[in-house]
Chain A
Amino acid sequence: MRVGFWLTVVLAASLMASLSVGDQSIPVMSVLGALLGTDSTPITDGFIVTELRLPRAVLGALVGAALAVAGAATQALIRNPLAEPGLLGINSGAALAATIVIIQVDTLPESLLPLFAVGGALAMSAAIYALAWRAGTSTLRLILIGIGLGALAGAAAAFLSVFGPVAQAQRAMVWLAGSLHDARWVKSLWLLAGGLPAVGVLWLMKHDLDLISLGDTTACALGQRVHMVRGIAVFAAAGLAGVAVAAAGPISFVGLVAPHIARKLVGAGHARLIPAAALTGAVMVVLADLFARRAFAPGQLPVGLATALLGAPFFGYLLWKKRHD
Chain B
Amino acid sequence: MIKSDTGIIETKAVAVDYGPTRIVEDLDLQIAPGKLTVLLGPNGSGKSTILRALARLQPAASGTVLLDAQAITRMSTKEFARRVGLLAQGATAPEGLRVIDLVRQGRYPHRPLFGGWGADDDAAVAEALALTSLQDLQDRPLEALSGGQRQRAWIAMTLAQATPILLLDEPTTYLDIAHQVDLMNLIRRLVDTRAMTVVAVLHDLNQAARYADELIMLKAGKIMAKGPACDIITPEVIARAFGVEVKVLHDPEDGLPFCLPQRTVTPQADA
Instruction: Give residues in A with beta carbon < 8 Å to B.
Output: 75-76, 79, 81, 204-205, 207, 210-211, 213-215, 217-218, 220-225, 263-264, 267-269
Please tell me if B146 contacts chain A, counting CB pairs below 8 Å. no
Q: A207-B114, A221-B57 are in contact. List 12 more A-B contacts (CB 8 A).
A: A76-B94, A79-B94, A205-B114, A207-B108, A210-B101, A214-B105, A221-B85, A221-B88, A222-B81, A222-B105, A225-B77, A269-B101
**Known A223-B108, A268-B101; contact A214-B96, beta-carbon cutoff 8 A:** no
**Contacts of A205 on B, CB cut-off 8 Å?**
114
Please tell me if B111 contacts chain A, counting CB pairs below 8 Å. yes
Q: Which residue of B lies closest to A221 (CB)?
A: B86
Distance of B221 from chain A, by nearest CB (Å): 21
Bound form: Cα–Cα A277–B44 in Å: 45
**Contacts of B102 on A, CB cut-off 8 Å?**
214
Q: Are B97 and A222 in contact (CB under 8 A)?
A: no
Q: Which of A215, A217, A223 contacts B109 (CB under 8 A)?
A: A223
| 25 A-B pairs in the complex with CB atoms less than 8 angstroms apart | A75-B94, A81-B94, A81-B95, A204-B114, A210-B101, A214-B91, A214-B92, A214-B105, A215-B88, A215-B92, A217-B91, A218-B105, A220-B57, A221-B55, A221-B57, A221-B86, A222-B81, A222-B106, A224-B77, A225-B77, A263-B94, A263-B96, A268-B94, A268-B98, A269-B101
Nearest 6 CB-CB pairs, A to B?
A: A223-B81, A223-B109, A221-B86, A223-B78, A268-B97, A217-B88
**Contacts of B109 on A, CB cut-off 8 Å?**
222-223
**Contacts of B82 on A, CB cut-off 8 Å?**
223
**Contacts of B115 on A, CB cut-off 8 Å?**
207
Q: Are B57 and A211 in contact (CB under 8 A)?
A: no
Q: Tell me which residues from 74 to 130 in chain B have a Cβ below 8 Å from any Cβ of chain A.
A: 76-82, 85-86, 88, 91-98, 101-102, 105-106, 108-109, 111, 114-115
Q: Which residue of A lies closest to B115 (CB)?
A: A207
**Contacts of A225 on B, CB cut-off 8 Å?**
77
Bound form: Cα–Cα A218–B79 in Å: 16
Q: Are B101 and A267 in contact (CB under 8 A)?
A: yes
Q: Which residue of B lies closest to A214 (CB)?
A: B93
Q: Are A267 and B88 in contact (CB under 8 A)?
A: no
Please tell me if B11 contacts chain A, counting CB pairs below 8 Å. no
Bound form: Cα–Cα A79–B93 in Å: 9
Taking each of A210, A211, A264, which has the highest tally of chain B beta carbons within 10 Å of its own beta carbon? A210
Q: Are B95 and A263 in contact (CB under 8 A)?
A: yes
Q: Which residue of B lies closest to A213 (CB)?
A: B94
Q: Are A268 and B91 in contact (CB under 8 A)?
A: no
Taking each of B56, B92, B96, which has the highest tally of chain A beta carbons within 10 Å of its own beta carbon? B96
**Contacts of A220 on B, CB cut-off 8 Å?**
56-57, 77
Please tell me if B161 contacts chain A, counting CB pairs below 8 Å. yes
Taking each of B85, B93, B94, B101, which has the highest tally of chain A beta carbons within 10 Å of its own beta carbon? B94
Instruction: Give residues in B with beta carbon < 8 Å to A.
Output: 55-57, 76-82, 85-86, 88, 91-98, 101-102, 105-106, 108-109, 111, 114-115, 141, 161
Distance of A10 from chain B, by nearest CB (Å): 20
Distance of A74 from chain B, by nearest CB (Å): 13
Q: Are B85 and A207 in contact (CB under 8 A)?
A: no
Bound form: Cα–Cα A217–B97 in Å: 18
Q: Which residue of B lies closest to A222 (CB)?
A: B108
**Contacts of B114 on A, CB cut-off 8 Å?**
204-205, 207
Bound form: Cα–Cα A122–B88 in Å: 34
Q: Which residue of A lies closest to B75 (CB)?
A: A223
Bound form: Cα–Cα A263–B96 in Å: 7
**Contacts of A221 on B, CB cut-off 8 Å?**
55, 57, 81, 85-86, 88
Q: Are A267 and B97 in contact (CB under 8 A)?
A: yes
Q: Are B96 and A224 in contact (CB under 8 A)?
A: no
Bound form: Cα–Cα A263–B56 in Å: 33
Distance of B55 from chain A, by nearest CB (Å): 6
Bound form: Cα–Cα A225–B109 in Å: 11
Q: Which residue of B lies closest to A223 (CB)?
A: B81
**Known A207-B111, A221-B86, A264-B96; contact A215-B91, beta-carbon cutoff 8 A:** yes
**Contacts of A224 on B, CB cut-off 8 Å?**
77, 108
**Contacts of A222 on B, CB cut-off 8 Å?**
81, 105-106, 108-109, 161
**Contacts of B79 on A, CB cut-off 8 Å?**
223
Distance of B151 from chain A, by nearest CB (Å): 14
Q: Which residue of A lies closest to B154 (CB)?
A: A218
Q: Are B95 and A218 in contact (CB under 8 A)?
A: no
**Contacts of A210 on B, CB cut-off 8 Å?**
101, 105
Q: Are B105 and A211 in contact (CB under 8 A)?
A: yes
Taking each of B86, B95, B106, which has the highest tally of chain A beta carbons within 10 Å of its own beta carbon? B95
Distance of A321 from chain B, by nearest CB (Å): 10
**Contacts of B77 on A, CB cut-off 8 Å?**
220, 223-225
Bound form: Cα–Cα A211–B109 in Å: 11
Distance of A138 from chain B, by nearest CB (Å): 14
Bound form: Cα–Cα A76–B102 in Å: 14
Q: Which of B76, B78, B95, B111 contacts A268 (CB under 8 A)?
A: B95
Q: Which residue of B lies closest to A265 (CB)?
A: B96
Bound form: Cα–Cα A225–B141 in Å: 27
Bound form: Cα–Cα A223–B82 in Å: 8
Q: Are A211 and B94 in contact (CB under 8 A)?
A: no
**Contacts of A81 on B, CB cut-off 8 Å?**
94-95
**Contacts of A79 on B, CB cut-off 8 Å?**
92, 94
Bound form: Cα–Cα A207–B116 in Å: 10
Distance of A59 from chain B, by nearest CB (Å): 31
Taking each of A75, A207, A223, A264, which has the highest tally of chain B beta carbons within 10 Å of its own beta carbon? A223
